[in-house]
Amino acid sequence: MRMLLGVGLLVWSCELWAADAAGALRAIRSYTAGQSRQGLAAVQALVSAAATEAARGELAAALAAELGSDATADAKRFVCAQLSLVAGDAEVPALAACLRDKELAHAARAALERIPGAAASAALRAALAGAQGPELAGIINSLGIRRDAETVKAIAPFLGDARIEVVESALDALGNIGTAESAAALDAAGKTLRSRFMPLRAEALLACAERLAAAGGAAQAEAIRRELAAATDLPEHVRTGALLALLGTESAGAAEAVKAAVARDDGAVFFALLRAIALEEGPGGEALKRKAAAFLAATADPRFKAQAALLLFKLQAPPNLALGATATSPDGLEKDGQASGDQAAIDGDLNTYWDEVDDKPLYRLVVTFKEPAAVSLIRIVGHVHHDYAPRDFEILCDGKAVAAVANARYTANELLVPFAETRCTTLELKITGYYGRSPAIRELGIYRCAADGK
């Protein structure tokens, strides 16, 4: 008895739902843009309240029927939008019929784009035949967004189309689909595609590689990224994206590709590695940062080496080898002002500083370690930013020059100077130019930053 009562209530509920939907839809048939949206809101409320499969099916059928009614184009466009939320395979034919109506084509395509299932994809593929210009480009875009693997064969031929917007849509769609077949189509297009489309092809390949990697196609993704990273005629953002992805790949081939780009002193490499270090977070992020810094340190370009030194220094936080060493000034000059003497330059206290009498042509500060040490970077904190701080100087290890600095540019009163790793007992600053009237130093740090980033 209870079961019969339940079934009866369900049938009654569905009949009531259908009646409400039919009435609400009849009420909006004359709607045009600019009129009150009260009737539209009533239909939207029905769509939002359709919580069961049966209710959604009833409502979807009623909505689809409206596409064949005498409702205005504005009303039908609204109906298409609601169908995108509740429609299934049964409503696809009604929407597909609207793809040839210029007033409804966009709304119908947008609805089909969102409806799950093979029927919607098949309808969009069928609509490719005979579609023109922007309409064709739009259908290709929708197929790409759906990422249907069967779509590749239908889209690939449009890479040779004469219409610019069609070729652009085909490239974007193949990148979105991201299968081995779409990668093959993009690869083949490299031989015939017009030159103006090559940057877009590269973007599509990069997107394709990301999809492949996520789907287990790591080897093919790496091959694509290596090709993009090695191409010097592609947009920098594409090469940067490829290099950034390769950095996170644990393979010898990926590492070699990055090293090759570094060896070219490629500006894109610099920005890729800088982004990796600045942005990567979460599991594995720290390892990626260290790897990026190590690759960056391998470049011969002094601009990049300086940046690498800073990055490695921040990542590794190496011990300050100057602490515990001895500082001397073998230049015969007296300390000046409130300076605390030679040892103040390496005592780890920013409140004390080393300074000598003003306006002299040469100042010398020598740090002697207790035992020989490997060093590769110094950090200077001046007295004040670009005022009473070393500007032009040499760095000597055991009396041999290892680096020279001219017109030093400090960042927040901090200067880092990298140089080739050297083992020594003494490190000397031979200062010939300075900001202000003397090269005061609040702190001189001496470090070894490992070239492998560890």
pLDDT in tens, 111-123: 999 999 999 999 9
Alpha helices by DSSP H, listed for 67-193, are 73-86, 92-97, 105-114, 118-127, 133-146, 152-155, 164-177, 180-189
CATH architecture of 326-447: Sandwich (2.60)
Q: Which of 427, 426, 443, 448 is nearest to 376 (CA)?
A: 448
Q: Which two tokens stand for residue 186?
A: 């993009």
Question: On the CB side of 260, how many CA atoms lie within 13 Å of its CA?
Answer: 16
Mean pLDDT value across residues 218-231: 93
pLDDT in tens, 397-452: 999 999 999 999 998 899 989 888 999 999 999 999 999 999 999 999 999 976 55
pLDDT in tens, 128-157: 998 888 999 999 999 999 998 899 999 999
Residue 10 is predicted with a pLDDT of 37
Q: Which residue would you say has higher pLDDT here, 440 or 249?
A: 440
Residue 315 is predicted with a pLDDT of 72
| pLDDT of 14 strictly over 80 | no
Q: Which residues contact 356 (CB under 8 A, 6 or more apart)?
A: 329, 331, 333, 334, 335, 336, 339, 363, 438
Q: Which of 64, 73, 69, 66 is nearest to 93 (CA)?
A: 64
- For the chain, the average pLDDT equals 88
| pLDDT of 209 strictly over 90 | yes
Residue 19 is predicted with a pLDDT of 57
Q: Which of 165, 229, 164 is nearest to 202 (CA)?
A: 229
Residue 133 is predicted with a pLDDT of 84
Residue 18 is predicted with a pLDDT of 53
